Amino acid sequence: MNVERILVTGVAGFIGAYLAKRFCADNPELTIIGFDNINDYYDTKLKEHRLSWLEGYDNFEFVRGDLANRAEVEKLFKKYNPQIVINLAAQPGARNSIDNPDSYIESNIIGFYNILEACRNHHVEHLIFASSSSVYGNNKKVPFSTEDRTDGPVSLYAATKKSDEVLAYAYAKLYKIPTTGLRFFSVYGPAGRPDMAYFGFTDKFVKGEKIKIFNYGKCKRDFTYIDDIVEGIVRIVEKKPKEEDYYKIYNIGNSATKDLMEFVKTLQEELVVAGVLPKDYDFDAHTEFMPMQPGDALETFADVSELEKDFGFRPETSLRDGLRSFAKWYKEYYML
């Protein structure tokens, strides 16, 4: 890379930690600045666990702060003058956004606005930011293409991510900031987010509690393994949008939508193989079918043809391989 400093916000988060580790390991000449407020949306011990992966790298520097604090963001940019900014910091969770809207506006709107202003004022060479498959809402056409309409969000979280895309587009065009948005599809893997289904289901199985399967299992998701997400970002970092465009958006998904019941069955099998659960575990007794809940989409399915055309890459990790890696990690991390 012809850069010296990359800023990764949300570095204690799931994607941020994996990405920073990849950069640090592959590019010792790079300085990676990680920024995170380590909030308590979920267990902070897991966030600290991810940060521990980066402790042995001399080219990593961690700064604790809040993107919603304009002064802290300006101080960060003045001190490090990052050439590339990868904004992964956000308040996640479509369902939670319905009950706790304030944190989504503060983090996903105000925090991202502060990043955009800092990029404008400090002449950042390339801004990459995380969007989400949730912007597609309940689109009937599948797979989802970046050319499809995205003006029908079904949650506040989705609305904030769509807002980020519109803000980024305006800043890219007005101030000629090369900007790339990435719509992630159901990212999973070891040390992932506990509020995601695969992790939450596992926790409940271990505790002997029932899992709730919404819409009676009639939902489909495009599950994307963490290593594929990271590989996609790494490739995109090295190629900013052309100057006549300044703005580009990509889907990063496995492009292989899976039925929710197939996902649950595969997870159950891998948890048994890993020794997280006994072979005679009664999964049926710990499963409850529920109607659709607000904020959920019926199906997600990524069209990654643009990603493949521009970067020669498409995610390929199978759901079974990904869940097997998660189950092994869960066993080791929780010392079962």
Active site residues: 157
- Give the angle subtended at the CA of 29 by the CAs of 26 and 30, to the nearest 5°: 80
Beta strands per DSSP E along 140-279: 179-184, 187-188, 211-214, 220-221, 224-225, 247-252, 258-259
Which of 287, 266, 271, 282 is closest to 330 using CA atoms? Answer: 271
Which two structure tokens, joined as six digits, stand for 271? Answer: 């948890």
219 φ, ψ to 5°?
A: -125, 155
73 φ, ψ to 5°?
A: -65, -45
147 φ, ψ to 5°?
A: -85, -10
Cα–Cα distance, 199 to 189 (Å, whole number)? 9
Which two structure tokens, joined as six digits, stand for 160? Answer: 């904030």
- Beta strand pairing call for 179-184 and 247-252: parallel
Which two structure tokens, joined as six digits, stand for 331? Answer: 């066993």
Spatial CB neighbours of 102, under 8 Å, sequence gap ≥ 6: none
Contact in structure between 97 and 156 (CB atoms under 8 Å): yes
74 φ, ψ to 5°?
A: -65, -40
